Structure 1
Amino acid sequence: MAKITGLGGVFYVVKDPKATREWYREKLGLDGEYGPQLNWSEETGEQPYSLISHFSDDKYMKPGTASFMINLRVDKLDEFVAILKTRGVEILDSVDEGYGKFAWLLDPDGIKIELWEQVDTPE
């Protein structure tokens, strides 16, 4: 039976796509022909997953300027946050929730990005 196998992408409108793609390449190390590309074949975690989560208000997206946010998986969050800081990226906050470690930043268009290191393996 046919089924959905994963998240195919996040698509949104920005003022200057070239500048935004350059920021993602320079700051986050993400590049690709059509924009930042993530290859699942590079994921090393056990039972990795993506999540589509729904909220009743936009408080979790703040201080982002959109009603959505982008969540990116990271293998070593603390190390990656240190790299981002050397690249001049402001980290809004970070937390270890036990099931995962999180950090937040804004892209140049005001979109909130949540970095997530999966800690627990889903049951």
Structure 2
Amino acid sequence: MKRVTGIGGVFFQCEDPGKMNEWYGKHLGLPVNQWGASFKWRHEDNPEKTGLTQWSTMKTGTEYFAPSEKPFMINYRVENLVELVETLKAEGVQVVGEMQEFDYGKFGWILDPEGNKIELWEPPAEETL
């Protein structure tokens, strides 16, 4: 079973997400919008298939990172979230909350040994970019 297949996103907390988005857009050229920036790409082994990596700022103190107290969270792309979460549980990894499913994919969360919250994302079979 494949586990992580790539980076789905990078999220970090800041005092003023709008101001940070503007700064990163102006100085680093990130294609920002109100949610951050989306980087579109093609799969190496199947160039017809596209993918997306999200970069987002979030207001300091957001509960989205809880129970982690860290100011960042990495989202990893996975192929079979249900199977992976069951495998991780069996390996003693701490699972946080319940899996959620949306039009844009399935999400699950775990903690690493230092309390960093990790988001696992299974994109829909056909990503819409």
Pair in the same fold by TM > 0.5: yes
Q: 1:54 aligns with which of 41, 48, 57?
A: 57
Q: Distance in 2 between matches of 1:95 and 1:72?
A: 15
1:46 is aligned with what amino acid?
Answer: K
1:105 positional shift: 0.9
Change (3 A) 1:121 1:83: same
Match of 2:114 in 1: 109
The number of equivalent residue pairs is: 86
- For residue 89 of structure 1, report the CA deviation from its aligned partner: 1.1
Where does the alignment leave 5 or more consecutive residues of structure 2 unmatched? 1-6, 11-42
Change (3 A) 1:44 1:65: farther
Shift in Å at residue 122 of structure 1? 2.1
Of 102-111 and 41-50, more deviation after overlay is shown by 41-50
The within-5 A match list for 1:1-123 is 41=44, 46-57=49-60, 58-93=62-97, 94-119=99-124, 120-123=126-129
- Partner SS state of residue 53, structure 2: coil
TM-score of the aligned structures, taking structure 1 as reference length? 0.60
Gaps of 5+ in 1: 1-6, 11-39
RMSD: 2.6
Query: Which structure has greater strand proportion?
Result: 2
